[in-house]
Amino acid sequence: MSDSRTYLSEAEERRFVLRLLEYWQVLRGARDFPRLADINFNDMGHDSASCAVLTLADPLDETGLVHVGLRLKPEEWETTDQRRLSEVPPDSLLFHMVTHLQTTLQKRVPVSMGGGFTLYGKPVLGRSILLPLSDDGETISHVLGGINYKVVREPVFRDTPRSAPRVAITGRMR
């Protein structure tokens, strides 16, 4: 189904998460979700190294990793074969990529989050996206994820609470 034209080049779209989101939407077509078989990593060029595919399991910790891009392989791992989510080291890119997995499964749509975190002690600014896949069109069976980052001088933490919205509470209870 897919061919290389379905994946945008960096010249066409410079933002990594939007390239992935566009690819997911093209593969999906009129369906709710694309299938895992629709994903062709060869189409994605260099971006495939920043992507991973999860095979969902219950409990979620038992979720397997069927594809881990070269850039996402944790330093501690010699191989990515037969790995599970519970084994992902907490300071790795893969860990930061899956932090909003629950939200993705709950919303049943692609979810992209960004922010600062530390990667093996170095402060980085990253953005990830998780895109649900379904083999039967109903149940989310897999999740395609991607993350990219850049090293920054000063730490920017994702969990820093934002200032409260300045809104007047004018709504009357009905």
Quick one: tokens of 9?
Answer: 């080049």
- Strand locations in the chain (E): 51-55, 64-68, 83-84, 111-119, 122-133, 142-151
Residue 120 or residue 157: which is nearer to another protein going by CB?
157
Q: Does 160 bind another protein (CB under 8 A)?
A: no
Segment contacting another protein by CB under 8 A, of 15-23, 68-76, 133-141, 142-150? 15-23
Q: Does 22 bind another protein (CB under 8 A)?
A: yes
Q: Does 110 bind another protein (CB under 8 A)?
A: yes
Segment contacting another protein by CB under 8 A, of 14-22, 39-47, 73-81, 135-143? 14-22
CA–CA distance, 33 with 114 (Å, rounded to integer): 23
Decide: residue 156, CB within 10 A, 0-12 exposed, 13-18 middle, 19+ buried: middle
Q: How far apart are the first and last CA of the chain?
A: 52
Q: Does 31 bind another protein (CB under 8 A)?
A: no
Residue 68 or residue 111: which is nearer to another protein going by CB?
111
- Please count the other Cβ atoms lying within 10 Å of the Cβ belonging to residue 38: 19
Q: Does 163 bind another protein (CB under 8 A)?
A: yes
Q: Which one of 81, 82, 154, 164 is in contact with another protein (CB under 8 A)? A: 164
Across the chain, how many H-helices and E-strands are there? 3, 6
Contacts to another protein by CB under 8 A:
15, 17-18, 21-22, 25-26, 103, 107, 109-115, 127, 161-165, 167-171, 173-174
